[in-house]
Amino acid sequence: MTDAHPFKSHMERALTEARAAGARGEVPVGAVIIARDGAVLAQNGNRTRERADPTAHAEMLVIREACAQLGAERLIGADLYVTLEPCPMCAAAISNARIARLYYGAADPKSGGIAQGPRVFSHPQCHHRPEIYDEIAAGESEALLRDFFSGLRADR
Amino acid sequence: MTDAHPFKSHMERALTEARAAGARGEVPVGAVIIARDGAVLAQNGNRTRERADPTAHAEMLVIREACAQLGAERLIGADLYVTLEPCPMCAAAISNARIARLYYGAADPKSGGIAQGPRVFSHPQCHHRPEIYDEIAAGESEALLRDFFSGLRADR
């Protein structure tokens, strides 16, 4: 990766979505999908509470939005940026959508599905494994989550 | 399980949705969610092609529909019937939705996420594991899938 790689600005965009999610009372996770040509196809944050939908994780929302935009089930050549390690639901959706590269921030020992637990991409039942770049702006992502959950505890 | 258990009629409903999905040109998988009081909360089949949405598996659709109906992120006490072993995306969504009991038909050695591959419910990162009843009307479910895919090959 050269200095010119725009992954920092894409992850900054995902972090902005994570902060907006936290401000809505959602677990602060944000995601962005970038098309092969560099265009932002979709950006969103967690909306599980707002939509009363346990599938409305940031990654799921941007995948669905990007596919709707393109009218296609597959996002060939696209990159997904997300501030936290995806859970197994989102990891499998990333595989189903044929995302080319996955950039994520903080590891998620509690609910992660990639580097721990079910390791969704590490079985023959996974038909597409993206290239994976982890620990991108992980400190900022972790700080957001820590502040959010310590705020919840303080409210009690 | 007693003879009076209605799981056969619920799975028959899921099979009807699977057949309808196949007739639409979708992989023939169907799902149903039954509330604690026995009411049918949602029923649907795969719609990934129709909606250009790689997350539109039968299980995801019925979970989202049932949650929308109840205005809740969790389907406490509800049962999910699906004709095929869920993939890891759907398995994790079933866990997130706190489904009480999962009844499924055929095993899916190719893409399953429960009894093989990532075994989503079998890790500490899984925060809720439903009771699982497999091989319910598995023969009918398998025959539907086999006919569908042999039909696709014959079309070529």
The pLDDT, as a whole number, for residue A2 is 47
Domain residues for the domain of B66 are: 14-103+113-127
Looking at the domain assignment, is residue A152 inside a domain? Answer: no
| CB-CB contact of B109 with B116 (8 Å) | yes
| CB-CB contact of B136 with B7 (8 Å) | yes
Is the model's pLDDT at A156 over the cut of 90?
Answer: no
* Three-state SS at A137: coil
Mean pLDDT of chain A: 94
- Check CB contact under 8 Å for B55 and A52: no
Which spans in chain A are helix H?
A: 7-23, 48-51, 58-70, 88-96, 138-155
| pLDDT tens column, B10-44 | 999 999 999 999 999 999 999 999 999 999 999 99
Dihedral of CA atoms B33, B38, B40, B46 in degrees, nearest 10, equals: 30
Looking at the domain assignment, is residue B139 inside a domain? Answer: no
- Of the pLDDT bands very low, low, confident and very high (cuts 50, 70, 90), residue A6 is confident
| pLDDT tens column, A106-152 | 999 999 999 999 999 999 999 999 999 999 999 999 999 999 999 88
- Check CB contact under 8 Å for A67 and B54: yes
CB-nearest to A120 from B97, B118, B127 is B118
Is the model's pLDDT at B154 over the cut of 90?
Answer: no
Percentage of chain A exceeding pLDDT 70: 96
CB-nearest to B97 from A54, A67, A88 is A54
Distance CA A142, CA A105 (A): 8
A126 appears as a binding residue in the annotation: no
Is the model's pLDDT at B2 over the cut of 80?
Answer: no
* Interface membership of A88 toward B (CB under 8 Å): yes
Looking at the domain assignment, is residue B136 inside a domain? Answer: no
**Mean pLDDT in residue range A55-82:** 98
Please tell me which residue in A26, A59, A131, A142 is annotated as part of the active site.
A59
Looking at the domain assignment, is residue A3 inside a domain? Answer: no
The pLDDT, as a whole number, for residue B5 is 66
CB-nearest to B64 from A55, A72, A90 is A55
Count of domains forming chain B: 1
Looking at the domain assignment, is residue B78 inside a domain? Answer: yes
Write out chain B in H/E/C secondary structure.
CCCCCCHHHHHHHHHHHHHHHHHCCCCCCEEEEECCCCCEEEEEECCCCCCCCCCCCHHHHHHHHHHHHHCCCCCCCCEEEEEECCCHHHHHHHHHCCCCEEEEEECCCCCCCCCCCCCHHHCCCCCCCCEEECCCCHHHHHHHHHHHHHHHHHHC
CB-side neighbour CA atoms (13 Å) of B141: 28
Distance from CA of A3 to the nearest CA of B (A): 34
- Of the pLDDT bands very low, low, confident and very high (cuts 50, 70, 90), residue B122 is very high
* Interface membership of B88 toward A (CB under 8 Å): yes
* Interface membership of B113 toward A (CB under 8 Å): yes
The bridge status of strand B30-34 relative to strand B40-45 is: antiparallel
How many CB contacts within 8 angstroms connect chain A with chain B? 126
pTM of the model: 0.94
Interface of B with A in 40-79 (CB under 8 A): 48-49, 52-55, 60, 63-64, 67-68, 70-74
Looking at the domain assignment, is residue A8 inside a domain? Answer: no
How far is CA B108 from each of CA A62, B81, B104, rounded to the nearest angstrom?
Answer: 28, 15, 10
Distance CA A92, CA B54 (A): 10
- Check CB contact under 8 Å for B55 and A70: no
CATH number for the domain spanning A60: value is 3.40.140.10
The pLDDT, as a whole number, for residue A68 is 97
List of chain A residues whose C-beta atoms are within 8 Å of the C-beta of residue B116? 123, 125
**Mean pLDDT in residue range A26-38:** 97
List of chain B residues whose C-beta atoms are within 8 Å of the C-beta of residue A119? 118
Q: ipTM score here?
A: 0.94
| pLDDT tens column, B57-108 | 999 999 999 999 999 999 999 999 999 999 999 999 999 999 999 999 999 9
Looking at the domain assignment, is residue A69 inside a domain? Answer: yes
The pLDDT, as a whole number, for residue B1 is 47
Looking at the domain assignment, is residue B6 inside a domain? Answer: no
